[in-house]
């Protein structure tokens, strides 16, 4: 039974991802974001549980990536689809709409541009597949991890909904900004950039300086900038990883 505990936690991540898909498809993006965050919480602890219980297995690795594909791959793609649809004045897809009463009807009110959002889903799938066969991503990552990327995507509707800043809203709901964000997101997922992992082999500051600094700065940003802090934290994560790599190699 002990060896199944991490897998059960992974399944909870998958369940949260499935719920988030439903909410994202209904254009209830704040609830989709909530379940993505809960799913990522489980995603962090399934690996931790496996290491603490010493029950790592190839099955767990594959299961973890499959769950991430839903929570951190499919959901952000749907969220970006909805944002792109709104950015060009097209009506978002919403479950329960009048047009969905006929199961054989095809609603063409959504602009084709919105489907560019699924580039994030495809890039996530490619990134996860590479991760599963790459033996060099044990203590660090090559490319932005899918959970971090998902958080950056789901932060966009949260900023629009809860910050109440017309200037920010105008930028975020601009189709060219969203297309650029989608392309950058897809690139970062598979870029040959070494990024540190939040895996502590010890607790000394010397061995984990970059991790402790990152956590402290992230907490400060969250307390001062709210949801706007999320993309700032992701940018700081990439920048601090680049600096850490440069210091290590120099």
DSSP characters for 126-148?
HHHHHHHH-TT-SSEEES--HHH
Alpha-carbon distance of 21 to 241, in angstroms, equals 31
Q: Kindly state the tokens that stand for 129.
A: 């597949």
Predicted local confidence at residue 40, as pLDDT:
95
What are the backbone angles phi and psi of residue 33, rounded to the nearest 5°? -65, -40
Q: Is residue 103 scored above 50 in pLDDT?
A: no
Predicted local confidence at residue 138, as pLDDT:
63
Which residue bears the tokens 């040959």? 192
Length of the chain: 250
Query: In the chain, pLDDT over 70 holds for what percent of residues?
Result: 89
Predicted local confidence at residue 96, as pLDDT:
47
- Please name which of 83, 69, 188 lies closest in space to residue 132, comparing C-alpha atoms: 69
- Let me know: does 60 contact 50? Beta carbons within 8 Å: yes
The whole-number average pLDDT for the span 205-225 is 90
pLDDT band of residue 102 (cuts 50, 70, 90) is low
pLDDT band of residue 214 (cuts 50, 70, 90) is very high
The whole-number average pLDDT for the span 98-108 is 49
pLDDT band of residue 93 (cuts 50, 70, 90) is low
What does the domain layout of the chain look like in residue ranges?
2-139
Q: How far is CA 71 from the centre of its chain?
A: 8
Q: Kindly state the tokens that stand for 68.
A: 């991430």
DSSP 102: S
What are the backbone angles phi and psi of residue 88, rounded to the nearest 5°? -105, 10
Q: Is residue 213 scored above 60 in pLDDT?
A: yes
- Let me know: does 60 contact 7? Beta carbons within 8 Å: yes
Average pLDDT along the chain: 88
Predicted local confidence at residue 197, as pLDDT:
86
Q: Is residue 94 scored above 80 in pLDDT?
A: no
Reported pTM = 0.89
- Residue-wise pLDDT tens digits, 137-186: 666 789 999 999 999 999 999 999 999 889 999 999 999 999 999 999 99
Between 43 and 2, where is the model more confident?
A: 43
Q: Is residue 238 scored above 50 in pLDDT?
A: yes
pLDDT band of residue 20 (cuts 50, 70, 90) is very high
Q: Is residue 100 scored above 50 in pLDDT?
A: no
Q: Is residue 203 scored above 80 in pLDDT?
A: no
Q: Which of 34-43, 82-91, 188-197 has the lowest mean pLDDT?
A: 82-91
Between 54 and 129, where is the model more confident?
A: 129
């Amino acid at each position: 039974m002990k060896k199944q505990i991490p897998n059960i936690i992974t399944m909870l991540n998958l369940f949260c991802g499935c719920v988030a898909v439903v909410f994202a498809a209904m254009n209830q993006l704040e609830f989709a974001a909530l379940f993505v965050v809960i799913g990522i919480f489980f995603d962090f602890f399934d690996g931790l549980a496996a290491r603490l219980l010493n029950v790592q297995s190839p099955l767990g690795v594959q299961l973890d990536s499959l769950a991430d594909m839903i929570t951190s791959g499919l959901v952000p793609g749907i969220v970006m689809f909805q944002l792109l649809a709104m950015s060009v004045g097209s009506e978002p897809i919403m479950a329960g709409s009048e047009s969905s009463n006929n199961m054989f009807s095809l609603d063409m009110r959504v602009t084709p541009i919105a489907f560019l959002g699924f580039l994030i889903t495809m890039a996530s799938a490619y990134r996860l597949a590479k991760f599963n066969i790459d033996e060099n991503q044990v203590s660090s990552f090559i490319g932005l991890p899918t959970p971090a990327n998902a958080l950056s995507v789901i932060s966009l509707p949260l900023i629009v909904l809860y910050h109440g800043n017309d200037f920010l809203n105008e930028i975020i709901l601009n189709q060219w900004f969203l297309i650029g964000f989608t392309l950058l997101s897809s690139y970062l997922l598979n870029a040959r950039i070494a990024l540190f992992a939040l895996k502590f082999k010890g607790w000394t500051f010397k061995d984990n300086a970059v991790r402790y600094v990152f956590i402290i700065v992230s907490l400060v940003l969250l307390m001062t900038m709210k949801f706007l802090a999320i993309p700032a934290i992701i940018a700081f994560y990439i920048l601090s990883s680049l600096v850490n790599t440069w210091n290590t190699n120099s």
